[in-house]
Chains A and B, each alone.
Chain A
Amino acid sequence: GAVVSQHPSRVICKSGTSVKIECRSLDFQATTMFWYRQFPKQSLMLMATSNEGSKATYEQGVEKDKFLINHASLTLSTLTVTSAHPEDSSFYICSARDIQGVGYTFGSGTRLTVV
């Protein structure tokens, strides 16, 4: 079946630095990529939607200058958390849809801890 590889699985960074999270679709072309964030014991909250080759659409309340999303190819999307702060510590998950728009394939998630 469809697989989305997400890296890193876990990252600890210092406050003020930037962190890049990658999601790759391994056996299909991900025309649409979704980025979610999950705080402990809470739901998965959609942050943004990106389509290959175009700018991401951010959900209300999500700072686009802080969470930079790049979807330059049909198999790779990245989320960069810029100038990270402790409150950005969370579990980030990507999800991809293929060109047929069938199903959602999730990555394995990235646990970000900002110290």
Chain B
Amino acid sequence: DQQVKQNSPSLSVQEGRISILNCDYTNSMFDYFLWYKKYPAEGPTFLISISSIKDKNEDGRFTVFLNKSAKHLSLHIVPSQPGDSAVYFCAASRYNTDKLIFGTGTRLQVFP
């Protein structure tokens, strides 16, 4: 049972444009969400997070939006840069538990 899903396995965006990565979840008990960037054969690198009491969090070029009613979150990267090319994972956790449940990942390619 995949509780966190990223339905787009890949995304290709031109440099300078906006990248939008989407994530859906099924468990309404999740209340904390994170986005990670990952290169092959490396551990994930934390990008940005959001708690369920907010609907938006921004950090530089990265903005995460949370729509609790739709159980959907998205990561916006603007402007996209070639160095952003990687696999992006969303992850979710429940209140009072430390466990992170990861989505299936989206491979982002930013081309010049």
Contact surface of A with B, Cβ cutoff 8 Å: 4, 6, 9-10, 32, 34, 36, 41-46, 49, 91, 93, 95, 97, 101, 103-104, 106-109, 111
Q: How far is the CA of A10 from the CA of B100 in the complex (A)?
A: 24
In contact, A43 and B42 (Cβ under 8 angstroms)? no
- B63 interface residue, CB < 8 Å from A? no
In contact, B100 and A46 (Cβ under 8 angstroms)? yes
The contact string, 1 if C-beta is below 8 Å from chain A, for chain B 41-60, is 11111100000000000000
In contact, B103 and A32 (Cβ under 8 angstroms)? no
Which residue of A34, A43, A91, A108 contacts B98 across the interface (Cβ within 8 Å)?
A34
In contact, B46 and A104 (Cβ under 8 angstroms)? yes
Q: How far is the CA of A108 from the CA of B105 in the complex (A)?
A: 18
The contact string, 1 if C-beta is below 8 Å from chain A, for chain B 16-49, is 0000000000000000001010000111111000
Contact surface of B with A, Cβ cutoff 8 Å: 2, 4, 34, 36, 41-46, 89, 98-105
In contact, A108 and B43 (Cβ under 8 angstroms)? yes
* A101 neighbours in B (Cβ, 8 Å): 98
Q: How far is the CA of A45 from the CA of B4 in the complex (A)?
A: 11
In contact, A44 and B98 (Cβ under 8 angstroms)? no
- 3 smallest beta-carbon distances between A and B, as pairs: A106-B43, A44-B102, A43-B104
Q: How far is the CA of A92 from the CA of B9 in the complex (A)?
A: 21
